[in-house]
Chains A and B, each alone.
Chain A
């Protein structure tokens, strides 16, 4: 059965006020198209989970969608702070924002615990750090095998995970390459999964290269075909990261009114991603066209 649907329908069906939402993707494959649709549909009080909140959550926080962030690195990578999130944390604009903070490995471990349906996951981290003092969910337990204390973190099971990838079939069998982030772990941890892809391919394309399938259709609820849906982040082999926009957002987001004006023009002011893509213009997509670097085929016979 085809799970192909539109972004509007997928968000309406699987993202509700108060939900715990994870739009993952480490630098690459961050689904801004889904974030913008969530903003357009006016969701509120979301608990937003991501290792690196990035511009995607800065925009959602600026739009008033979130009440809490669960994260491990809060910044515009290589550029500076996330100004909208800082305004929310420091001044409660547009509404107060609670922070729950881990390290990267801690966040990954939370997704693994969630995906494996374990009560916690152990990791050798946090010893000597102040992080456990400000986050009581980071605990230490004594190893039953006599190896001393080990840090543990609780499972993170989002209500919905939104995964951006290169391609999937209509059943949601999804192939992703380049940076994998924690996309597989968060998908298996989530109660519902929306997959958003650059290309819909036949099942036989997926079956021709099964090692590349990161997420099976088994756990996918909805498949959305949304070319350029990860812009201004990137999709390996499809388009490069729009570093200019990451720099520009630093300017825009410093100012509350400019941030609102940007959201007005680029999120509320467009119907959907297709209109955003058209409005960005051909020269943007030409500028972001990646180099060619094809892998050699392998024999699965």
Chain B
């Protein structure tokens, strides 16, 4: 096992999933750094799109938020949020969107609204932002979340952003244009979704992680792919970019 953290493995795995992708809708935090890493490695033609209204960002330093001034300097276009959501997103121009959440279920539905009852929450979370419509419209949704029993739950407290809903083609029946969640990258493993049932399937374990480690962090017993593989560890170049260029302060890597 090499010298890297589970978070670094997670960011690198998420970045690699963007190989060949042209347009990605970037979220706050981990997706932000994964997309910026992808642009410097596997997807040099990747256009970063931010819900703040930025298309084709070329940030010279890692943006601290989706509204960071570094995203505007040198971007291809900066537009109103009406244009961003109406023309780019609802217009069907975005290939991949990264999302995350406080809770996810086996069908990739996400909760970013409340833990507990809506009217009297145990924890009030930020809410949708653009996630609800992004989850509906992006051609593919990639999810990046740390694996834990608190997050990978049997039943969401609140469904903010639809994944495959109850599975088995429910998205299609409801006329949603995007294909929904295709990938979940965690700090321990990678899941994809069964094309027929819409359920999460474990496809890859990060180096050093055992199947029981994954099961211990989930509230349901996950389906496991018949050709379960081991994730390729980060290369020295990926780690160098992460540590020296993208996140020198280690905000996202710990």
Point out residues on A near B: beta carbons under 8 Å.
26-28, 51-52, 71-75, 77-78, 81, 86, 89-90, 101-106, 108, 111-112, 123-131, 134, 148, 177-185, 234, 236, 240-241, 243, 290-291, 293
Contacts and interface: CB of A to CB of B under 8 A. Distances in A.
Interface of B: 28-29, 51-54, 64-69, 72-74, 78-82, 85-86, 89-90, 109, 113, 118, 121, 124-133, 136-137, 158-162, 165, 170-171, 174-177
A25 to B, nearest CB: 9
Contact of B73 (A130, A180, A181, A293): A293
Contacts of A134: 118
A103 B90 contact: no
A71 B82 contact: no
Q: Which interface residue of A89, A123, A131 has the most chain B CB atoms within 10 A? A: A131
A28 B67 CA distance: 7
A293 B74 contact: yes
Nearest to A150: B175
Contacts of B69: 28, 178, 234, 236, 240-241, 290
Nearest to A85: B124
7 contacts: A103-B128, A105-B132, A128-B159, A129-B132, A177-B78, A179-B67, A185-B82
B52 A103 contact: no
Nearest to B123: A81
Contacts, number: 157
Q: Which interface residue of A124, A182, A291 has the most chain B CB atoms within 10 A? A: A124
A153 B89 CA distance: 18
B124 A77 contact: no
Q: Which interface residue of A103, A111, A131, A181 has the most chain B CB atoms within 10 A? A: A103
A131 B133 CA distance: 12
A167 B74 CA distance: 21
Nearest to A151: B133
A49 to B, nearest CB: 14
Contacts of A112: 82
A178 B69 CA distance: 8
A134 B128 CA distance: 13
B67 A74 contact: no
B176 A74 contact: no
Q: Which interface residue of B67, B73, B137, B176 has the most chain A CB atoms within 10 A? A: B67
B136 A127 contact: yes
B129 A104 contact: yes
Contacts of A78: 28-29, 64-65
B127 A241 contact: no
Contacts of B52: 26-27, 179, 181
B248 to A, nearest CB: 15
Contacts of A178: 69, 72, 78
Nearest to B158: A130
Closest 3 A-B residue pairs measured CB to CB? A27-B67, A128-B162, A75-B126
Q: Which interface residue of A78, A111, A243, A290 has the most chain B CB atoms within 10 A? A: A78
Contact of A128 (B53, B118, B174): B174
Given A27-B52, A241-B68, A105 B133 contact: yes
Nearest to B79: A180
A71 B129 CA distance: 9
A241 to B, nearest CB: 6
A180 B53 contact: yes
A213 B49 CA distance: 24
Contacts of B159: 128-130
B53 A131 contact: no
A89 B72 CA distance: 35
B126 A128 contact: no
Given A101-B128, A179-B67, 16 more contacts: A51-B81, A72-B127, A73-B128, A101-B127, A103-B129, A104-B128, A104-B130, A105-B130, A124-B137, A125-B136, A128-B109, A129-B132, A129-B159, A129-B161, A182-B81, A241-B64
B29 A128 contact: no
Contacts of A125: 132-133, 136
A127 B176 contact: yes
Contacts of A243: 64
Nearest to A235: B69
B162 A129 contact: yes
Nearest to A234: B69
B131 A103 contact: yes
A181 B81 contact: yes
Contacts of B109: 128
Given A89-B124, A129-B159, A124 B136 contact: yes
Given A90-B124, A236-B72, A103 B133 contact: yes
B227 to A, nearest CB: 31
Nearest to A183: B80
Given A126-B132, A128-B174, A184 B80 contact: yes
Contacts of B74: 293
Contacts of A234: 69
B160 to A, nearest CB: 6
A112 B87 CA distance: 14
Contacts of A236: 69, 72
